[in-house]
Chains A and B, each alone.
Chain A
Amino acid sequence: MSRHKGGTPVRAAWFVVAGLVAFMVVLAGCGGGSSSSGGSSGGGGGEELQKLGKGEGQVNLISWAGYVEAGGGENPDWVTPFEEETGCKVNDKVAGTSDEMVKLMETGQYDGVSASGNATARLWAAHEVAPVNTALVPNYKTVFADLKDQPYNTFEGVPYGIPHGRGANLLMWNKEDVTPAPSSWEVTLNPEVASKYKGHITQYDDPMSIAEGALYLKAHEPKLGIENPYELNEEQFNAAVELMKEQAPNVGEYWSSAEQQIEGFANGSNQVGTTWQYQYFALKGENEPVEASPASQGFVPEEGATGWSDTWMISSHAKHPNCMYMWMNWIISPKVNAEVAEWFGEAPAQELACKETENPNFCTEYHAEEPAFWKNVYYWETPLAECSEGGETDCMDYNDWVRAWTEIKG
């Protein structure tokens, strides 16, 4: 019968094992992760592509729902024609929030992303995106002028992306459950009015929602002096956070998946809240009784709206840069950008797309050619400590927003 106890050799083995664990620890300290490979002082990574070569056979994208459609059911298809023309197979990952997009980009496994303003600056600062050589994107010439050289897509004077389109966040409601038809954000943000729909309000699950509160306060509490809902000093920020905390008990669902919200409206759990055009048109297509602020109002309630202006950015680790450039050029080509804009329901980035839309009045309805309209739509941007006015640094930064959002949700 074996009665041998483990002696020195076994003990020695444990020490070797402990040593290996310690080695892993050291490795962790020096471990890789997102590292910069050149780029300017503040951010950016990689080099601008000098010459467009042959396609590499595939391109890996991160996008918002509805931005990269490849047919199936009643969906349009601007991916298959691209694949046929360029030979670049498209792999798309749909993300629900900008945070997700930043995280995915940091894995270094994607070639590009359709980033909103609250992701672009972060991606740039994290050296995850490379400058874009706009000379290699012929369709860029005819992009709307007020989308070029913007603080959310141009850093230190260098362009970092190709504009995709822009839109305002919608207030949508189920017209059978919500009467009278709301024309103001008070239906979700004013506790007295909102409590009527307790448990059926839906709010976007992202710190950017605090800006909706700030926007509401800009109109309803002017003495706070809020100008830009993303640049808030402590007093303004706390007021906005308070407002969102008061909203929380009335919220039925904090949504982050567009399709989850669609299901919520379709099965009656959601009755009113912030949404995107993608969900609105999907529900209308299913003959669900939903309404949103009308076109005559510019699709925005009284107080204005937050919104987004999205930019295609190329990863500094892109393994398929040629295909990525081809994609960027494709997505803003007139016919495709028109399809894209009409499918999602946003204003196109491409001037020439306005002639290609099925609905001849599309660009007018969506104010695509009216820079003045967009002054009242506050694109998502990354809150920074430096306020743009007067160069003060007492604004709340993104970390504060994230922390506050967790507190708001309770």
Chain B
Amino acid sequence: MRLSRSGKITLRVVVALVLAFIYIPLLVIAVEAFNSSRILKWPPPGFTLSWFGKALENESVREALLTSIEAGLAAMAIAIVLGTLIALAVGRRKFFGRDSISFLVVLPIALPGIVTGVALSNTFTQVLGISLSLLTVIIGHATFCIVVVYNNAVARLRRTSGSFEEASADLGADPWQTFRFVTFPSLRSALGAGALLAFALSFDEIIVTNFTIGAGEETLPIWIYRNLFRPKELPVVPAVAVILIILSIIPVYLAHRLSSDDAGLTPGRGGGATTPPAGIAEAEATVAH
């Protein structure tokens, strides 16, 4: 599109402002993590690295970090298995109820987090009578992580032809061999991207976690939430927050690299995203190219 020179300049300025808007709060948090004032006075009277030290020494922070990683890996594993299974079923064949399956997969991430959290918590404690623990957290996380893996896998399946699998079958391979030698290799990087995204999603999640976690456990976001107002050591929380940001951006960056040649990146939920049925999500996926 041909824009006048002043038009282009105005647009560039606007873009710069929007980017500033997006990044300034993150910078503020980063600055607060170095604030030498114990009660987070602004502007910061001085800077110090001590809060990071305190954060890393703090036993409950370390435990929370480990718990988050544990939960993330477990949820990711479950999501990979379930998401791939659904994708294989949906991606290649038409059948009764196929669209409703797509809708169903998206639902856990589409409904507000508080609804999912309350519903699951209710079922665990009232109906099934099991107590809340890390296991219930993992179950909750896996439920809404399925869609991320599923989207990536389905998008990849739609872009590769089914004829390879047919050829494999024609050559005498049974379905498992076909999967192992034909389908899976082409799916691999999409699954990898999906898995990383699922991990990041689980690592960052707070709302559903808040409702499904047991008394003695803490994931990192839960730790932050419960320690938001530490009266004498307020900057420890921003320090932990910075650590959390870094640790959740890494898998996303890796996922981006992994799928940089095709569909792969779908935005995740914040505290409860809505994604309408697969159509949009797939289109989102084509964004990162």
* Chain A interface residues (CB < 8 Å from chain B): 1-7, 10-11, 14, 24, 27-28, 31-33, 60, 73-74, 91, 93, 104, 107-110, 257, 259-260, 262-263, 266-267, 282, 286
Task: Write out, one digit per residue, whether chain B residues 163-207 have a CB within 8 A of any chain A CB (1) or not (0).
Answer: 000100000000000000000000000000000000000000000
Q: Known contacts A14-B97, A91-B215, A93-B215; is A107 also within 8 Å of B92 by CB? A: no
Given A32-B127, A33-B126, residue A2 in contact with residue B228 (CB < 8 A):
no
B231 CB–A CB distance under 8 Å: yes
- Is B234 in contact with A263, judged by CB distance below 8 angstroms? yes
Contact indicator B92/A2 (Cβ below 8 Å): yes
A343 to B13, CA, bound (A): 56
A31 to B93, CA, bound (A): 39
What are 27 sample pairs from A and B whose C-beta atoms fall under 8 A apart? A1-B166, A2-B93, A4-B95, A5-B94, A5-B95, A5-B96, A10-B95, A10-B96, A10-B97, A14-B96, A14-B97, A24-B123, A28-B127, A31-B127, A33-B126, A73-B233, A93-B215, A107-B132, A109-B132, A110-B215, A257-B228, A257-B229, A259-B229, A260-B229, A262-B229, A263-B231, A286-B232
Enumerate chain A residues within 8 angstroms of B289, measured Cβ to Cβ: none
**Residue of A at shortest CB range from B129?**
A32
B131 contacts A109, C-beta separation under 8 Å: yes
The residue of chain B having its C-beta at the shortest distance from the C-beta of A285 within the complex is: B232
Nearest B residue to A93 via CB reads B215
Contact in complex: B39, A28 (CB < 8 Å): no
List 19 additional contacts besides A1-B162, A263-B39, A266-B231; criterion CB under 8 Å: A1-B166, A4-B95, A5-B96, A6-B97, A10-B97, A24-B127, A28-B126, A28-B127, A32-B126, A91-B215, A104-B215, A109-B132, A259-B230, A259-B231, A260-B228, A262-B231, A267-B41, A282-B231, A286-B232
B165 nearest in chain A by CB position = A2
Q: From the candidates A7, A24, A60, A282, name the one contacting B215 in the complex (CB within 8 A).
A: A60
**B216 lies within 8 A of chain A by Cβ:** yes
Whether the pair B97, A266 counts as a contact (CB closer than 8 A) is no
A283 CB to closest chain B CB (Å) equals 8
- Are B216 and A91 in touch, CB under 8 angstroms? yes
Flag B221-241 by CB within 8 Å of A: 1 or 0 each. Answer: 000000011111110000000
- Beta-carbon contact of A27 and B215 below 8 Å: no
Question: Nearest-CB distance from B277 to chain A (Å)?
Answer: 18
Query: Is residue B214 within 8 Å, beta carbon to beta carbon, of the partner chain?
Result: yes
Residue B48 is within 8 A (CB to CB) of chain A in the complex: no
Which chain B residues have a beta carbon within 8 Å of chain A's beta carbons? 38-41, 92-97, 123, 125-127, 129, 131-132, 162, 166, 214-216, 228-234
Q: Decide if A107 touches B231 in the complex (CB within 8 Å).
A: no
**How far is it, in angstroms, between the C-alpha of A3 and the C-alpha of B228 when the chains are bound?**
57
A104 contacts which chain B residues (CB < 8 A)? 215
Q: How many residue pairs at the A-B interface have CB separations less than 8 Å?
A: 79
Look across to chain A and name the residue whose beta carbon is closest to the beta carbon of B232: A73
When the two chains form the complex, which single residue of A5, A33, A257, A259 contacts B125, counting CB atoms closer than 8 Å? A33
Q: Is the CB of B127 within 8 A of A286?
A: no
Residues of B within 8 A of A27 (CB): 127
Q: CA separation between A7 and B230, bound complex, in Å?
A: 60
A93: chain B residues at CB < 8 Å are 215
Interchain nearest-CB distance for A294 vs B (Å): 24
- In the complex, which of the residues B125, B129, B230 has the most CB atoms of chain A within 10 Å of its own CB atom? B125
Chain A residues in 8 Å Cβ range of B166: 1
- Nearest-neighbour CB distance to chain B for A266, whole angstroms, equals 5
Cross-interface CB contact of B39 among A2, A60, A266, cutoff 8 Å? A266
Closest residue on chain A to residue B133 by CB atoms: A109
Report the Cα distance A10→B216, complex, angstroms: 43
5 closest A-B pairs by beta carbon, nearest first, are A6-B95, A259-B229, A6-B96, A31-B127, A32-B129
A28 contact set on B, CB distance < 8 A:
126-127
**Complex: A260 Cα to B132 Cα, angstroms:** 27
Kindly list chain B residues whose C-beta atoms are within 8 Å of the C-beta of A257: 228-229
**B226, closest chain A residue (CB):** A94
Bound complex: CA of A4 vs CA of B96, how far in Å? 10
Min C-beta distance of B167 to chain A, whole Å: 12
List chain B residues, Cβ under 8 A from A107: 125, 131-132, 215
In the complex, the chain A residue whose C-beta lies closest to that of B38 is A286
- B126 touching A267 by the CB < 8 A rule? no
Q: How far is the CB of B172 from chain A (nearest CB, A)?
A: 18
